């Protein structure tokens, strides 16, 4: 097995893009990252590839394992054609340790992430825990029979009266972050600057949001789905996600993709009613010193 460590995002992009595209919907996170890095247009926070960890493991002729990490976020992995190779995983682990690369966690297709975690934690003498069990869904057509309510519009600067609280609520629900908002206005304005964040209103009152967060070759990603607790259970999230998904398809993408937390059966049920179908399970694993 050959380990290749990359310092140039353009070379890494050239070597791995077609490999990751074999399962485009599954690889929306690493694909989205290397597209951002290759374009070099957005170097906000973790999007600057200067400190990224980028590596591949190859056999005699082909890449069999691709790894990319955008600190402080977790390592993401893809086994080519979803064929896990213990020798490739072992080689990656050994070289990560040899190069003193700090790995806070790993997120990948479930069996691959778990196998990497077992080998990495075992060799480092540390523990690991499953932070989140996830499922990846894709949609090619919105169910026209679902009942929708309200009207949808783009988020605007005037929405800063409530958007910071919604964005913190989303991060709290998904990542356990604090509900306290920041004084850094730009942190929140950044979320609406690209005209992809949508707000659903019911009787003129903002009740939920969702965003087209990434554009890939044939798919777009739906994210930042959030309804404040007071408005939940009224069908607002269903209406918002259905509308934003249709916007994605109308832009010419063949599919929309989203991640769900398997611990939340309500959201999983909602997305399937809209027309989303599961393609694989993913797991988010945290390493503990």
DSSP string, 208-232: EEEEEEEE-SSEEEEEEEE--GGGT
Distance CA 249, CA 123 (A): 45
* For range 2-29, the mean pLDDT: 97
- Examine the domain organization and report whether 115 and 160 are in the same domain: no
- Examine the domain organization and report whether 46 and 162 are in the same domain: no
Domain total in the chain: 2
Torsion of Cα atoms, 167 then 273 then 247 then 36, to 10°:
60
Confidence class for position 189, pLDDT limits 50, 70, 90: confident
- The domain that holds 184 is classified in CATH as 3.40.630.30
- The domain that holds 81 is classified in CATH as 3.40.630
Domain of residue 221 covers: 151-281
Torsion of Cα atoms, 191 then 29 then 224 then 138, to 10°:
140
Tell me the pLDDT tens digit for each residue of 230-275: 999 999 999 999 999 999 999 999 999 999 999 988 889 999 999 9
Q: Which residues contact 213 (CB under 8 A, 6 or more apart)?
A: 196, 220, 221, 222, 223, 224
- DSSP label at 269? H
* For range 12-21, the mean pLDDT: 98
Distance CA 248, CA 213 (A): 10
pLDDT at 273 (0 to 100)? 95
* For range 48-62, the mean pLDDT: 93
Q: Which residue has the tokens 């600067």?
A: 157
The whole-chain average pLDDT of the chain stands at 93
Strand partners, 129: 286
Q: Which of 80, 107, 125 is the last residue of a domain?
A: 125
In a domain, 146, yes or no: no
Tokens describing residue 69? 């990490």
Confidence class for position 43, pLDDT limits 50, 70, 90: low
Strand partners, 259: 136
């Amino acid at each position: 097995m050959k380990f290749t460590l990359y310092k140039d995002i353009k070379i890494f992009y050239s070597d791995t893009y077609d490999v990751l595209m074999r399962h485009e919907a599954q690889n929306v996170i690493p694909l989205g990252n290397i597209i951002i890095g290759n374009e070099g247009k957005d170097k906000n926070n973790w999007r600057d590839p200067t400190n990224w960890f980028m590596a591949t493991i190859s056999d005699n002729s082909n890449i069999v394992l691709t790894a990319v990490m955008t600190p402080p976020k977790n390592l993401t992995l893809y086994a080519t054609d979803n064929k896990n190779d213990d020798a490739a995983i072992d080689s990656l682990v050994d070289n990560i340790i040899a190069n003193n690369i700090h790995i806070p966690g790993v997120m990948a297709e479930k069996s691959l992430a778990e196998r990497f975690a077992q080998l990495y934690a075992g060799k480092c003498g540390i523990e690991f825990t499953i932070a989140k069990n996830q499922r990846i869904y894709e949609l090619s057509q919105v169910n026209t029979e679902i009942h929708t309510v309200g009207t949808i519009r783009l988020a605007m600067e005037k929405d800063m009266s409530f958007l910071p609280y919604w964005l913190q609520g989303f991060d709290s629900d998904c990542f356990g972050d604090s509900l306290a908002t920041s004084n850094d206005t730009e942190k929140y304005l950044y979320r609406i600057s690209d005209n992809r964040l949508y707000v659903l209103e019911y009787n003129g009152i903002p009740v939920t949001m969702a965003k087209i967060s990434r554009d890939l070759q044939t798919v777009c990603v739906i994210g930042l789905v959030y309804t404040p607790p007071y408005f939940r259970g009224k069908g607002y999230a269903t209406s918002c996600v259905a509308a934003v998904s249709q916007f994605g398809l109308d832009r010419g993408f063949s599919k929309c993709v989203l991640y769900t937390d398997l611990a939340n059966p309500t959201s999983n049920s909602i997305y399937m009613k809209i027309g989303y179908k599961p393609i694989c399970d993913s797991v988010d694993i945290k390493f503990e010193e």
